[in-house]
Amino acid sequence: MSFDYEACQDAAQYLRLSREQIIANQTQKPDGKKYVWFPDKENAYVKGELIKTDKGKCTIKACDGGKEMTVKEDDLQEMNPPRYEKCEDMAGMTFLNEASVLNNLRSRYESFMIYTYSGLFCVTVNPYKMLPVYAPYVISAYKGKRRTEMPPHLYSIADNAYTEMLMNRENQSMLITGESGAGKTVNTKKVIQYFALVAAFGGSQDDGKGTLEDQIVQCNPAMEAFGNAKTVRNDNSSRFGKFIRIHFGSTGLLASGDIEHYLLEKSRVIYQQEGERNYHIFYQIISGSKPELIDQLLVTKDPYDYRSISQGVVSVPSMDDGAELLLTDDAFRVLGFNQEEISGIYRLMAGIMHQQNMKFKNKQREEQAEPDGTEDADKVAYLFGLNSADFIKYLCHPRVKVGNEYVTKGQSCNQVSYGIGALSKGLFGRHFDWLVKLINQTLSTKLPRSFFIGVLDIAGFEIFDSNSFEQLCINFTNEKLQQFFNHHMFVLEQEEYKKEGIDWVFIDFGMDLAACIELIEKPLGIMSILEEECMFPKASDDTFKDKLYQNHLGKSKAFGKPVKKTKYEAHFELYHYAGTVQYNICGWLEKNKDPLNNSVVDLYKKASMKLMQTIWEGYTSPEEAASGGGGKGGKRKKGGSFMTIERRLKEEEQANTNLSKYRKLQHELDDAEERAEMAESQLNKMRSKARDTKGEK
């Protein structure tokens, strides 16, 4: 092994065993005893000495001084020889069983060797602390090295993808997957940083902006502030999915970058479960590390003054919100945002907080809402550039279209409260779309692009105490991703075995996921029934539940009625590949429809704050869409703003499929053009040589 311990400095101990330990493992002699793994309730598997075997029963003695016991022979698993202790590639072990894999990962984790290979894959166990394994000198040590030359590391996977791209002249993609809290976001950031350093272009795009590599790196703090939050499983959980493409020129230097995002969890803006937080940005702007914001945004430093950010916890021990604000602000400047845009972002976030604080009461002897004080509404109006009186009027008395006429509709306090929540989610979601679009504009350059490496980071599989529509969307996406992964890594691989005549019993790894995926997406599946219920005015959570039971209870092996009692109500459970998840369906119809008070949206569109006008540009209300929406010839205009979440998810999936096909065709066309140019060049050389030969004669 050519690993240079000195080059990796203090990181070496977290990457590979010392030379002395490796030699000790290799030369350790067996003591003549037979050791096995046997199941244990607390520790999964425990090491034991096999005493005897008789008619399918085994007598074993736990190696930790436990008593002798009798277990079934089928429950025991073989133990690997000592030379495989803390082995770097588990695919090379003599006995590749569950107990040996778990023991190897645990023993390496106890030494903070968090990366381990398993054949083609790199397995990471989150240490929940920052180790020196990402230092610049570690990047230098891995740069240009073959995978077999270095210990397991994310950098080795990244460098191999980079090398394969240049050698084979083909795009590459890296899939970073795992449950919530597994460490996907951190590993995604480290991959991006690696490419930014090893392929640095070294030139600034425009005056006042950072270099392209700096801008690519700074995308993460800018997006994390608005897309990440504390959950019960993870202090910095990504509440959206993203596919980041790093584009390179023909010589391997950075050319540009772009980001696609999916499934932003907008409900967190107005509600958080116990032990969770809202998005980081809200706590950052009231941290006081930029004192001028407190006065400019009319906010206090006390998070408990704001309902929408204090329903769970308000601080994270591992995170300094004040320091994070400075990093976010610095990221904006490196990305080239101007002062008006930065100011607009902060005003928008503060406005959402004030908007959620507004109070209403019923008029005497009426179910009509009226403001219970206007202080918060006045703050919103000031920050957004609205008329406060109009803002309150349209919240309480929105205009709705009936036939060809507009009429004023009264609202109860609950309806107004729900309407404000929907507007806050709409503001945050459209702002996030705009932010990603602006970042993409910044990362777009005029440099020629030849290839890209894609990095996919989506919200991990989630099993919380209370699971709602957001968790279903996230888990469904993970289920589809796992099916895609299994198909390409196992099913297609087995087809290659068949082509090569290898004697092999075909294993369909994809069938484990098919039942659950079909249950969710097929006609009369969960999403289909939800979409159908959203079309009926009198539909409710109960009618939705009844239809689910009627169509699937006892008929689908992936669907069941909750058996296990928890402190949170659950209406049905799904048997996902990662485990059983109980779902609560309260509010799913409204979450899927995502309705907005269009009278207030019209005010937003006419606000004096430029950013507010920008993020609502192109918005079409359902009424406008149904009546033609100003399209040419009075044709119905199809606007994404009135689509349900489920339909939008389907259209995004179809668009991504079409985009992949387009890119494949484009890549084939580029290859054909390159071959044509080479052929033409060769032909010209032959013609030139023929002329020279003719001239000599």
| CATH code matching the domain that covers 32-80, chosen among 3.30.420.40, 2.30.30.360, 2.60.40.10, 1.10.3710.10 | 2.30.30.360
Strands 77-78, 115-118: pairing kind: unpaired
Decide: 116 and 173 in contact? Cβ < 8 Å: no
Is 228 catalytic? The answer is no
Q: Which of 619, 615, 623 is nearest to 409 (CA)?
A: 623
Indicate which residue of 312, 336, 460, 629 is catalytic. Answer: 460
Is 180 catalytic? The answer is yes
178 is in an annotated binding site: yes
CA distances from 565 to 137, 274, 302 (A): 52, 18, 37
The two tokens of residue 169 are: 């002249």
249 is in an annotated binding site: no
Report the distance separating Cα 555 and Cα 558, nearest Å: 9
Strands 172-176, 451-457: pairing kind: parallel
Residue ranges of the chain with per-residue pLDDT less than 70: 1, 201-209, 508-512, 622-675, 694-697
Count, residues in the chain: 697
Indicate which residue of 237, 328, 475, 556 is catalytic. Answer: 237
180 is in an annotated binding site: yes
Is 238 catalytic? The answer is yes
DSSP 8-state class, residue 259: E
Is 104 catalytic? The answer is no
Is 224 catalytic? The answer is no
Is 308 catalytic? The answer is no
185 is in an annotated binding site: yes
Indicate which residue of 48, 181, 344, 629 is catalytic. Answer: 181
pLDDT at 286: 97
Q: What share of the chain is helix, strand, coil (3-state, %, to 5)?
A: 50, 15, 35
Report the distance separating Cα 246 and Cα 255, nearest Å: 8
Q: Which of 64, 33, 32 is nearest to 47 (CA)?
A: 64
pLDDT at 511: 58
Report the distance separating Cα 396 and Cα 408, nearest Å: 10
633 is in an annotated binding site: no
Decide: 92 and 99 in contact? Cβ < 8 Å: no
Q: What dotted CATH number matches 469-501+515-586?
A: 1.20.58.530
Report the distance separating Cα 149 and Cα 155, nearest Å: 13
Indicate which residue of 80, 171, 185, 328 is catalytic. Answer: 185
630 is in an annotated binding site: no
Q: Could you tell me where the DSSP H helices lie in 288-364?
A: 291-296, 321-334, 339-356
Is the Cα torsion angle 529, 530, 536, 541 positive or negative in sign? positive
Is 318 catalytic? The answer is no
The two tokens of residue 167 are: 């050698």
554 is in an annotated binding site: no
Is 486 catalytic? The answer is no
pLDDT at 594: 75
Decide: 520 and 527 in contact? Cβ < 8 Å: yes
pLDDT at 637: 44
Residue boundaries of the structural domains of the chain: 32-80, 469-501+515-586, 643-686
DSSP collapsed to 3 states, 643-664: CCHHHHHHHHHHHHHHHHHHHH
